Amino acid sequence: MKLIRKRIPFFFAALTCAAFLLLSGCGDSEKMQEYKALGISQMESGDYESAVQSFQKALDQSVGTIGAEELDICYYKALALYESGDTEGALEAYTTLVEYDSKNWEVYYLRGNIYLLEGQTEAALEDYAQAFSLNDDDVELCVHIYENLSDAGLAENGQEYLDKVMSVTPSTAEEYYFVGDMYFLTEDYENALTNLQQAEELGYDKALLLLGTIYAEEGDSESAEAAFTSYMEKYPDDAEALNELGEMTLEAGEYENAVRYLESALELGDTSVERAVLKNLIIAYEYSGDFESACDTAETFLSKYEDEEVSREYEFLQTRVGEDIESSSDADEAESSEDGDADTSESAEESEAVESAE
Per residue in 174-187, pLDDT tens?
999 999 999 999 99
Q: Which helix (H) or strand (E) holds 30?
A: helix 29-44
**Tens of pLDDT along 200-229?**
999 999 999 999 889 988 989 889 889 988
Q: Which amino acid is at 258?
A: A
Output the DSSP codes for 304-336.
H---HHHHHHHHHHHHHHHHHHHHHHHHHHHHH
Enumerate domains of the chain plus CATH numbers. Answer: 1-101 (1.25.40), 106-167 (1.25.40.10)
Q: Distance between CA atoms of 222 and 149, rounded to whole angstroms?
A: 33
- Residue 93's CB: how many other CB atoms inside 10 A? 26
Contacts 24+ apart (CB under 8 A), 245-249: 245/209, 245/212, 246/277, 246/280, 246/281, 246/284, 247/3, 247/4, 247/5, 247/6, 247/280, 248/3, 248/4, 248/5, 248/209, 248/212, 248/213, 248/216, 249/216
Banded pLDDT at 45 (limits 50, 70, 90): confident
The arithmetic mean of pLDDT across residues 108-121, rounded, is: 93
For residue 61, which phi and psi values (nearest 5 degrees)? -90, 5
* Non-local CB neighbours of 107 within 8 Å, separated by 6+ positions: 13, 15, 94, 97, 98, 101
Give pLDDT, residue 154. Answer: 96
pLDDT grade for 306, boundaries at 50, 70 and 90: confident
The pTM (predicted TM-score) of the whole model is 0.71
pLDDT of 342 above 60: no
Given pLDDT bands bounded at 50, 70 and 90, which one contains residue 338? Answer: low
Mean pLDDT of the chain: 83
Listed in order, strand segments (DSSP E) in 222-324 are none
Question: Of 1-10, 133-142, 201-210, which gets the smallest average pLDDT?
Answer: 1-10
Q: How far apart are CA 297 and CA 288, in angstroms?
A: 14
What is the distance between the alpha carbons of residues 212 and 292, in angstroms, rounded to a whole number?
Answer: 31
User: What's the rounded Cα separation, in Å, for the pair 25 and 9?
Assistant: 33
Which residues have CB under 8 Å from 347's CB, separation 6+? none
Tell me which of 191 and 46 has the higher pLDDT: 191
| Cβ proximity of 267 and 243 under 8 Å | no
pLDDT tens readout for residues 273-300: 899 999 999 999 999 999 999 999 999 9
Confidence band of 6 (pLDDT split at 50, 70, 90): very low
Please state, in angstroms and rounded to a whole number, the distance separating the CA atoms of residues 229 and 223: 10
Q: Are 199 and 176 in contact (CB under 8 A)?
A: yes
